[in-house]
Amino acid sequence: MGECRRGGRGQSAGSLKFTLLGTGTSQGVPVLGCSCSVCRSEDPRDKRLRTAALVTVDASHLAIDCGPDFRQQMLRAGIGDLDAILLTHSHNDHIIGLDDIRPFNFRSGLPMAIYGQAGVLDELPRRFPYAFETANRYPGVPSLRTHPIYDHEPLFWKDRPIYPIAVKHGELPVLGFRFGNLAYVTDVNFIPESSMSLLEDLDFFILGVLQPEPHHAHYHLEQGLEVIARLRPRQSFLVHCNHRMGLTAETNLRLPSGVALAFDGQYLDVNW
């Protein structure tokens, strides 16, 4: 399987398929034990696995995050081989599915390439100590090869650049990513000016917006719409939404033109 690399130059633009594997918050939707109208909805757009995404070029795949629904998401998307995983940050709903990479290890005979900020990669041995054992290693545990991502230094996959976008989620550093004319920024409540410039002239902007009410570590709806109005992407989709965001069919009617709630399984064809 291929891996990302740092440095070098990319090829001329091509195309990719960007799939939203999950669009929900850390609890998912429906929420356990909740009987609100969203959690009881029969609309498949209101059933949200934990937020994650998949980038596909030809028959090659690159995942963004690996949460508790990773196995289900890979099965639903029909993914048999995976090149690498980009991690946005170290919260459980974005990394705790890493144990489920084992079938990819068995099939390829190679460790899975995992990319993230140094602090995220440092956290992995604490969450998955058995995966990093060198002595008396238990057969069949997941095999990982970690690679640091540095702010403002692009990665290259399929010889095309992936630009990391540094944002904040409360006090926690988080990475978004730009692929050509699409940017993906999940858990966020602050985007510094140095990162705003990487979010200009987008065809597609995928932004984490938790709920209508204010939150200490996530954009709420008004804040997210203010960012979108400033950046003026051609189309925006909101992810990492909880059940307080409302029914998709009703909420979309209230959103500005060019903005909609994303839904699980949605995909975009992107120039890259």
Chain mean position to CA 29: 17
- pLDDT at residue 4, as a whole number: 76
**CB-CB neighbours of 249 under 10 Å:** 12
Tens digits of residue pLDDT in 75-88: 999 999 999 999 99
- pLDDT at residue 1, as a whole number: 42
Task: Tell me which H or E stretch contains 52.
Answer: strand 52-57
- pLDDT at residue 8, as a whole number: 54
- pLDDT at residue 6, as a whole number: 65
- Which CATH architecture fits 5-271? 4-Layer Sandwich (3.60)
243 touches 31 (CB < 8 A): yes
Within 77-223, strands assigned E span 84-86, 112-116, 144-148, 155-157, 160-169, 172-179, 182-185, 204-208
Q: Residues 43, 18, 216, CA angle at the centre, nearest 5°? A: 70
- pLDDT at residue 13, as a whole number: 61
Query: pTM for this one?
Result: 0.95
220 touches 209 (CB < 8 A): yes
What's phi and psi for 190, nearest 5 deg?
A: -155, 130
- pLDDT at residue 152, as a whole number: 82
What's phi and psi for 124, nearest 5 deg?
A: -60, -45
Residues in the chain predicted with pLDDT less than 70, given as ranges, are 1-2, 6-13
Cα-Cα-Cα-Cα dihedral sign, residues 91, 96, 18, 102:
positive
Could you tell me the residue ranges of all domains in the chain?
A: 5-271
